[in-house]
Amino acid sequence: MNKNKKILVTGAAGFIGYHLVKKLCETDYQIIGIDNLNDYYDVNLKFNRLAELGISINFLTNNIKLRSNIFENFIFIKADIADHDFIINLMAIENFDFVLNLAAQAGVRYSIENPRVYLHSNIDGFLSILEGCRRSNVKHLLYASTSSVYGLNEVMPLSEEQNTDRPMALYAATKKANELMAHSYSHLFSLPTTGLRFFTVYGPWGRPDMALYSFTESIINKKPIKIFNHGKMVRDFTFVGDVILSIFKLIERPPLSNKNLNSKQINPPYQIFNIGNSKPISILQYINELEYAIGVTAIKDFVEIQPGDVKETHANTKSLENYINYKPDTNIKVGIKAFVDWYKSYNKI
């Protein structure tokens, strides 16, 4: 690493984006982060993440560079990745070495009622990123995908070789589309791309729409928590710190084309990795650990499974482990305690 290498991080005020920028700020990379700061969830949480990175919320104007007053190697821009001309121009001017695309409209259930916003951010926005990368000769594009692409697959653990053409919600379909779009650009323009299939990421500064945040809020306020599918759900919960370290180790490890293969065996610089803890637990066990960390018993409301939800996730991460010699492994007790400690501090409890 050296200070001449530049990184673009999209979704920089988001949950994973914030943690990634903070990690990168501790290095010699030069970082530009962008985020459109939409109101899918409480914008104040995004503002506060930015404040932790030294960005004042008093001067946020679209497409204007703001330099951090904490980290001299970080600049933030309020911008939308679907603003095609702006993204293309930014990438041409800055000549980034690496691009990490974490900007997206998240949420499985939200996509059922609000489909159009997913096409705006996840399809139009990702196209801007791909075009910017190929026109400015980016050395490696890493982008967020999701375990949701596995859809109706029931063979566990889920591995990258499994079929992913049966998504259960539009959100997952747009992420699968991202993987296909990336493959086409890797093939046509030799753009090195790495897709990251995240498995239920949790931890400090997490999103309010995710289970851990909403459960914690309800338990502390002695309100019932809805437990879908009557608790018969299993998830591969992955601590955000493990996700960040995995991404960090992948940045300067782009996939390579195999030049020795003949024309019938095309092998573009394209790869996909599962990023998960590989120790799935039931949602009830997850709640038990949360109750212990908070010191309060939850009021449980058992309800039917929601449309678009899968019953189980379990990541096979052998490909990731072999590639970067690292396996996400933070224990659920440790991860949940870290979140509860942050939640109480953040909300002054």
Kindly list the catalytic residues: 171
Provide the strand spans (E) within 157-269.
Answer: 193-198, 201-202, 224-227, 234-235, 238-239
Sign of CA dihedral 87, 93, 94, 98: positive
**DSSP label of 161:** T
The distance of Cα 123 from the centroid of its chain, to the nearest Å, equals 16
Q: Quick check: 205 and 19 in contact, CB under 8 A?
A: yes
Q: Write the DSSP symbol of residue 299.
A: E
In the chain, beta strands by DSSP E = 6-10, 30-35, 65-67, 74-78, 98-101, 140-146, 193-198, 201-202, 224-227, 234-235, 238-239, 270-275, 281-282, 299-302
Q: Ramachandran region of residue 41, left (φ > 0), alpha (ψ -120 to 50) or beta?
A: beta
C-alpha angle 206-212-217 in degrees, rounded to nearest 5: 95
Can you read off the two tokens belonging to residue 197?
């299939």
